[in-house]
């Protein structure tokens, strides 16, 4: 791989910017300054350093973002802050969110450039579980729980697939629950709650498959996934559900 492409893939600047940095002798390969942008390196073995930091090449990158409310799930938007604006200087080219959370929804969002994994996580054939913490107005009865867990009519051609409900709290006219679904229909959680006579007042995604939101990750912050988290997701998506 050419040195300038390597630095671009590391998100260290545009092609012209990194070429200028290289020509100034600010980049070293295996401890030796290199001034040629065309320098061919072994990205899997050579050690590249710039401004005191070393960079290891990876084809795919994976980040966990704790999405706050008020941010849109998009790679770019002319008028609103996007989830990608919250990751301004991370490594990895062509990063994008896996699926989407509504603007007013908080919680776990996976950001990656691994298109194959993203496709599998979103595939209706895989039935990957997604768990949400939901606060609602209304009353949650045994009958409405049964409806949610066995499929409700939200106006589509088919009922929703079976879900799991865990009641967390209930008071006069409101309740909180954890709802686990295996689909990703438009506004699905809100429509399911509405179908049983309630209304969502707060929504937060807690997990996507084997990946759970890090309790220590503040809203608007992100971190790279661990190797185990990546491995668990890949292993999960090798299983095709009927």
Q: Give the catalytic positions in this structure.
A: 102
Task: Collect all residues with Cβ–Cβ distance below 8 Å to 142 and sequence separation of at least 6.
Answer: none
Q: Which of 205, 211, 222, 217 is nearest to 83 (CA)?
A: 222
| Residues present in the chain in total | 242
Residue among 188, 140, 189 nearest 168 (CA): 140
Angstrom CA distances, 144 to 18, 21, 121, 130, 153, stand at 59, 62, 28, 20, 12
Q: What is the DSSP letter of 84?
A: G
DSSP 130-187: EEEEEEEES---HHHHHHHHH----SSSSPPPP-EEEEEEEETTEEEEEEEES---TT
Q: State the residue for tokens 């545009």.
A: 14
């Amino acid at each position: 791989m050419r040195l300038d492409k390597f630095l671009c893939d590391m998100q260290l600047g545009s092609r012209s910017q990194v070429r200028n940095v290289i020509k100034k002798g600010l980049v070293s390969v295996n401890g030796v300054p290199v001034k040629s942008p065309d320098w061919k390196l072994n990205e899997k073995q050579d050690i590249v350093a710039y401004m005191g930091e070393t960079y290891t090449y990876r084809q795919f990158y994976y980040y966990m973002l704790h999405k706050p409310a008020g941010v849109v799930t998009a790679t770019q938007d002319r008028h609103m802050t996007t989830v990608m604006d919250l990751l301004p200087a991370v490594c990895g080219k062509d990063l994008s969110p896996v699926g989407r959370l509504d603007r007013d929804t908080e919680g776990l969002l996976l950001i990656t450039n691994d298109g194959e994994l993203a496709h599998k996580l979103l595939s209706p054939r895989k039935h990957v579980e997604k768990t949400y913490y939901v606060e609602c107005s209304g009353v949650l009865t045994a009958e409405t729980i049964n409806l949610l867990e066995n499929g409700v009519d939200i106006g589509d051609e088919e009922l929703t697939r079976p879900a799991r409900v865990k009641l967390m709290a209930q008071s006069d006219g409101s309740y909180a629950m954890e709802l686990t679904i295996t689909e990703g229909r438009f506004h699905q959680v809100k429509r399911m709650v509405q179908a049983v006579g309630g209304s969502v007042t707060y929504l937060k995604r807690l997990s996507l498959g084997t990946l759970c939101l890090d309790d220590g990750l503040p809203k608007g912050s992100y971190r790279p996934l661990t190797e185990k988290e990546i491995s668990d997701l890949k292993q999960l998506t090798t299983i095709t559900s009927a």
